[in-house]
Structure 1
């Protein structure tokens, strides 16, 4: 959302007149907060994996990361995902799907 749109939305929803500088400041605060949330969530991935291993004993969970140098943040190696659901309605059954995401963030279905 651009700054003018934020300014108009605040004006119409809250009946407050704000200048572009204030909108820019708030936008920056929100982006910083979101970036912090990504870092916190990434750090919790290993806890999530441990919880899944405890609750779903037959699940296989492997996480492999690369680091350019030891101090750099980790980056995932290619990600392989498997998901399934039960189908209702006229086509009953179970549907399984897999996909892979490579280092260029491109997703590929796996047959």
Structure 2
């Protein structure tokens, strides 16, 4: 193809892709507030908590954790008195690494 690309162009292209990818993650984390509100609306009695970190009061929030316990699971737990707690989890990949656990 007779294309000559120097290192400066490669670095710029890599930076553009990383910035675009980080922007997509930010947009997806913003939608978590809508997910939490929808879960509260559709599953009354459920516990939904989302924790965020802020460096300063004016800085934008950074996602820390998201907790959901559905009312049906709480009721089933109390009625069945299950002695074993089941946990499942996954690791979030990408520029904002974290862990997500399910009960």
- TM-score scaled to structure 2, two decimals? 0.51
Q: Find out whether 1:52 has 2:39 as its counterpart.
A: yes
User: How far does the alpha carbon of each residue in 1:2-35 deviate from its partner, in whole angstroms, 9 at most, with x for none?
Assistant: xxxxxxxxxxxxx562413322221111011012
In 2, Cα distance between the equivalents of 1:50 and 1:80?
A: 13
**2:22 maps to which residue?**
35
Q: 1:18 to 1:52 in 2, by over 3 A?
A: farther
1:25 to 1, 8, 12: 12
Q: Find out whether 1:97 has 2:63 as its counterpart.
A: no
In 2, Cα distance between the equivalents of 1:16 and 1:52?
A: 55
**1:8 maps to which residue?**
none
TM-fit CA distance, 1:62: 0.7
**2:78 maps to which residue?**
none
Structure showing greater radius of gyration is 1
Is 2:48–2:67's contact at 8 Å kept on the other side of the alignment?
no
Structure 1 vs Structure 2 CA RMSD? 3.8
2:50 to 37, 50, 63: 63
Count of matched residue pairs: 81
Q: 1:42 to 1:77 in 2, by over 3 A?
A: closer
